[in-house]
Amino acid sequence: MDYQDILYAQEAGVATITINRPDSYNAFRAQTCDEMIHAFDRAGWNRDIGVIVLTGTGNKAFCTGGDQSAHSGSYDGRGIIGLPLEALQGSIRSVPKPVIAKVRGFAIGGGNVLALLCDLTIAAESAIFGQVGPKVGSVDPGFGTAYLARAVGEKKAREIWYLCRRYSAQQALDMGMINRVVPDAELDAEVAQWCNEILANSPTAIALAKSSFNADTQHIAGFSNLGLHAVSLFYETAESREGVAAFKEKRKPRFREPGMKR
């Protein structure tokens, strides 16, 4: 595949997948997702690769979720909602290698879900985490909600989704959303150290451990599939369209105005 939205590199047993859309804060469109799926499969089944690192170009954002400029009732590609999220999430979980999210800047919305789904998440002190779906007429009704509750507890997960607040890297660490926080200048070295420690261990044992962890939460994929069908229908409503319009027009959404059909 001729990548346009991502960068792919591999060195010394580590494959690095970089979302390369800095002008949109590394938001993903359908093409971005397809390229990431290809890259995860490429690295995940390469016997020379022991660890996969997912990150974003620049210091402003790891990823800020779905690109709203490609969203008008649905996104612009395949998958239940026009984004192959179910396939992308499945790729991250199914490859028999640990996936490390290396986070600088914003990990918001679908970007926060990607960081959560990775096996390990290491963040710079400047990183910011949070969900935004209810502000723009959307939601992740699978791994972004149910799996999040496994990581941070149900009370905190509900707070994250209902209030759409932003959380510092230290707050994300304290609630169990990520594994490590380091000064920005030390992030690359810290991730490299974690990769080296993983590469020193048995790849088969790690693959088995990952599979067994996944088995405990695999039912969430069913929730996700069902929920995305509901989200696809939701995107056709005036309420959801108002969220997208408000985001593009840089104003507060008017979800509760009289006559708004829900």
Alpha carbons within 13 angstroms on the beta-carbon side of residue 52 total 30
Neighbours of 243 (CB within 10 A): 24
CA distance 64 to 252: 19
Summarised one tens digit per residue, pLDDT across range 157-206 is 999 999 999 999 999 999 999 999 999 999 999 999 999 999 999 999 99
Question: What's the predicted TM-score (pTM) here?
Answer: 0.91
CA Rg value for the chain: 18
Mean model confidence pLDDT for the chain: 92
Summarised one tens digit per residue, pLDDT across range 37-63 is 999 999 999 999 999 999 999 999 999
How deeply is 236 buried, as exposed, middle or buried, from its count of CB atoms within 10 A (0-12, 13-18, 19+)?
Answer: exposed
More confident residue, 178 or 233: 178
pLDDT value of position 228: 87
Contact indicator for 60, 25 with CB cutoff of 8 Å: yes
> What confidence category does residue 244 fall into, taking pLDDT thresholds of 50, 70 and 90?
confident
Summarised one tens digit per residue, pLDDT across range 84-116 is 889 999 999 999 999 999 999 999 999 999 999
CA angle 247, 228, 225 (to 5 degrees): 155
Query: Could you tell me the two tokens for 50?
Result: 């022991």
Nearest Cα to Cα of residue 10 among 45, 57, 34, 61: 45
pLDDT value of position 19: 98
Q: Which domains does the chain have, with CATH numbers?
A: 1-184+203-262 (3.90.226.10)
CA distance 64 to 28: 8
CA distance 79 to 81: 6
